[in-house]
Structure 1
Amino acid sequence: MVRVPHVLVYGGAGALGRSIVSTFKANNWNTSKQKFSDGEFKDFKFDTIICTSGGWAGGNIKDENVIKNTEDMWTSSVQPAVLSSHLASKHLNESGLLALVGAAGVLEPNPDMIGYAIAKNAIHYLILSLAKPSGGLPNGATVIGLLPQTLDTENNRKYMPADQSHTWTPLNDLSNKVFDWSSQTTSRPKSGSLVKIVTNNKKTEYQY
């Protein structure tokens, strides 16, 4: 019997998560969408685990809502990334892929969205740490960060300036790339890579 590979998408109800689930389903992978339940999986192994959970909040350190916004970013982005990584430490195959979503826009200081920047940089630090030999992931597993500039989502179309749309990354482009990296281990970035996703005139490059 041919073994069917299995992907777990944490945050699969969001725009990127739905796109990734659709892509993997179309390519005959078994898909699971979870919040988090370690005990439920017992001895089950995944070939790929992807955390797409997240959010956004603006404001600098003077903002009256800076504490709440930072807490919200921690809850929506950092905690799911840590939980997904913990799950990967127990249930990812040795040749598996763990992908977490960071942000290209916070690689340099960005005081106008301080809570978001703190949260995403925490995820970047997590990725770099997991890639170390003592990081806790299975032998041979790969962890990478997906760092988009702006994704082409319904919300971003609503709130972002339309004249910048040529720089928005199509969801299916990113989903197909993650699928390729899941299916072909030799094509992946090395473990610990923070992959900057840059789109210009609808053409997307993956820089790492």
Structure 2
Amino acid sequence: MTSRVLVYGGSGALGNGVVSLFSSQNWIVTSVGTRPNKQATHNIVVSLDTSLEQQGEQVLRESNEYLKGEKYAAVLCVAGGFEMGNAAHKDFLKNSDLMLKKSLWSSLISARLAAHQLQEGGLFTVTGTAGLRATPGFIGYGVAKAGVHQLVHSLASPKSGLPAKTKVVGLLPKMIDTPNARESSPNADFSSHTPIETLAQRLYNWATGKIPVPHGKLVEAITTKGETSFNEV
């Protein structure tokens, strides 16, 4: 029986890597993003100009129409992004709004969808960021990611609304080796950036049961000199 996965943020750098890996393993992949992913089996295209409720209802409706009663084995939210800005920055509120939409809204919508369309015992994963402390230079980003961390703990608790035996985990990369990162900082030490393929493989291993899922935990992905370790916070 072919398994199904929904990847929220499937049109981003990490999302593209996740969609690519699951597709190569013959999973039926639904990608949710601001643009289609050609590698996905099915696409749901959303706009950041809609409200949280509007976007959520659209995703739930279009996903339900495509599933026709089937369920996902995994719902993976890997949406994100990065914007600078302290409280005095001219674009502080604009950038903060964008970070909330890209990181926290997508995670909340993914949780809503999983409550209705994830199979019992399935995997639910969201991505935060490792070592999150005070982020005075990029406050909106920090607030959004802190909300994602809190969401993991809440969803892993009793009466969260998720299907029985759902495995909930947060994946927290410190730095991801993306094309944008290489373009913006060509002289950076990328031996400390985690490859997209490494993160995608971890998600795939959790989804297939090759690696036990640390339910309710935040798992940091830290890369040093090209070697990546995954550690529960």
Count of aligned pairs: 204
| Structure 1 match to 2:173 | 148
| Structure 1 match to 2:202 | 177
Gaps of 5+ in 1: none
Gaps of 5+ in 2: 33-43, 45-57
Higher relative contact order by CA 8 Å / sep ≥ 6: 1 or 2?
A: 1
| Structure 2 match to 1:101 | 127
* CA shift for structure 1 position 159: 1.8
| Structure 1 match to 2:11 | 13
The change in CA–CA distance for 1:186 and 1:20 in structure 2 (over 3 A counts) is: closer
* Pick aligned residue for 1:81 from 79, 104, 107: 107
* CA shift for structure 1 position 162: 2.7
Residue 70 of structure 2 aligns with an amino acid whose one-letter code is: F
Alpha-carbon displacement from aligned partner over 1:39-97 (angstroms, at most 9, x marks no partner): 23153310001112111111212212111111111111111110011000111111111
| Structure 2 match to 1:39 | 61
Mapped pair 1:197 → 2:221: yes
- Aligned counterparts of 2:143 and 2:179: Cα–Cα separation in 1: 25
Asked whether the 8 Å contact 2:19–2:29 carries over to 1, the reply is yes
- Aligned counterparts of 2:9 and 2:127: Cα–Cα separation in 1: 11
Residue 198 of structure 1 aligns with an amino acid whose one-letter code is: I
TM-score by length of 1: 0.93
Paired-residue identity, % = 36
Segments of 4+ in structure 1 off by > 6 A?
Answer: none
Asked whether the 8 Å contact 1:95–1:185 carries over to 2, the reply is no
| Structure 2 match to 1:117 | 142
